Amino acid sequence: MITRDEYLKALDTVEAYHKQLNLSNVRQLREQLSPDLDRNDFIEYVGGSDSKYLTEGNKYRLTCKPYRNRVCIINDGGKRMNTNVRYFKGA
């Protein structure tokens, strides 16, 4: 049988987990890129990706207009890279 104290402790753990999930979703709720961005415009990387070719705070040049939830940029290695919009904000 579970005691009331054990139940309340477990409930606190579950509530903390739910708060953590809500905070991790904030990154996906960032403002979307402006629809008027076009080729050769710059966008700023805000972090979140595991790529070693992106530096947080740097601005990257678009190689084409953003589409759906993807952007194509020139990364730190000088190569064209297709990545998710959620890692960037308009510069």
**Which tens digit of pLDDT belongs to each residue from 21-59?**
765 555 554 456 777 888 999 999 988 888 899 999 999
Q: How many residues does the chain have?
A: 91
75 pLDDT exceeds 90?
A: yes
Give the residue extent of every domain in the chain.
Answer: 1-30, 42-90
pLDDT band at 67 (very low <50, low <70, confident <90, very high): confident
pLDDT of residue 31: 53
Q: Residue 6: what pLDDT?
A: 92
78: left (phi over 0), alpha (psi -120 to 50) or beta: left
Q: Report whether pLDDT(8) > 60.
A: yes
| Spatial distance between the Cα atoms of 38 and 52, rounded to a whole number of angstroms | 25
Kindly report the pTM of this predicted structure. 0.63
Mean pLDDT of all residues belonging to the chain: 84
CATH topology of domain 42-90: SH3 type barrels. (2.30.30)
Strands (E), the chain: 42-45, 59-61, 70-74, 80-84, 88-90
The reported pLDDT for the residue numbered 29 is 46
Reduced DSSP (H G I as helix, E B as strand, rest coil) percent helix, strand, coil of the chain, to 5:
30, 25, 45
